């Protein structure tokens, strides 16, 4: 269960909550920053923060689906925009709001920054989401796990998973 809190003693936020509270025992996903790259790694919307924000949101939705969640279960985001102009930040926020991400509303921070990790990148969003329990035991979306994992103790797995790399007892 997600509880969205707006504190009456504080200035009312325009389209976000002051806090999101998740009941203990919920499964959470901490997503890496969603960036404006297409599936081939090419920057989308060079010089256009609104177009980049749309690509970032599309990529964020794919990240969420891969872990069995969606925009409605996002509890917190940090929205980074390369700009010191409030109007540019507002245009990016308009894309976030139109996406349904702020439906909760979730807790969010909109931040103007000097630069981001990819050349020409103007927008990035990090997110934390609740992964709801599914009654269907199949994986909600195919996800890839790569690299090396070390497992000790007892492990239980339900559903389907594809793993590449090495698992050592």
Q: Determine the pLDDT at residue 129.
A: 93
Structure tokens belonging to residue 53: 């924000």
Q: Determine the pLDDT at residue 93.
A: 95
Rg, C-alpha atoms of the chain: 18
Q: Determine the pLDDT at residue 164.
A: 39
Q: Determine the pLDDT at residue 145.
A: 44
Report the first-to-last Cα separation within the chain, whole angstroms: 35
Residues of the chain with pLDDT under 70: 135-169
3-state helix vs strand vs coil in the chain, percent to 5:
20, 30, 45
pTM of the model as a whole: 0.73
Q: How many angstroms separate the CA atoms of 70 and 66, rounded?
A: 9
Q: Determine the pLDDT at residue 53.
A: 98
Q: Determine the pLDDT at residue 42.
A: 96
Structure tokens belonging to residue 154: 């007892």
Q: Determine the pLDDT at residue 70.
A: 94
């Amino acid at each position: 269960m997600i509880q969205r809190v707006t504190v009456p003693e504080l200035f009312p936020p325009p389209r976000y909550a002051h806090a999101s509270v998740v009941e203990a025992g919920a499964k959470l996903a901490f997503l890496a920053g969603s960036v404006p790259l297409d599936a081939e790694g090419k920057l989308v919307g060079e010089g256009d923060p609104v177009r980049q924000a749309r690509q970032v949101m599309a990529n964020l939705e794919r990240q969420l689906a891969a872990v069995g969640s969606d925009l409605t279960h996002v509890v917190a985001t940090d929205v980074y925009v390369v700009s010191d102009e409030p109007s540019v930040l507002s245009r990016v926020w308009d894309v976030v709001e139109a996406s349904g991400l702020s439906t909760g509303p979730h807790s969010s921070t909109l931040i103007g920054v000097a630069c981001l990790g990819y050349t020409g990148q103007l927008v990035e969003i990090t997110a934390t989401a609740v992964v709801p329990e599914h009654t269907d035991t199949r994986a909600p979306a195919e996800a890839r796990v790569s690299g090396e994992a070390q497992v000790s103790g007892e492990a239980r797995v339900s559903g389907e998973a594809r793993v590449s790399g090495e698992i050592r007892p």
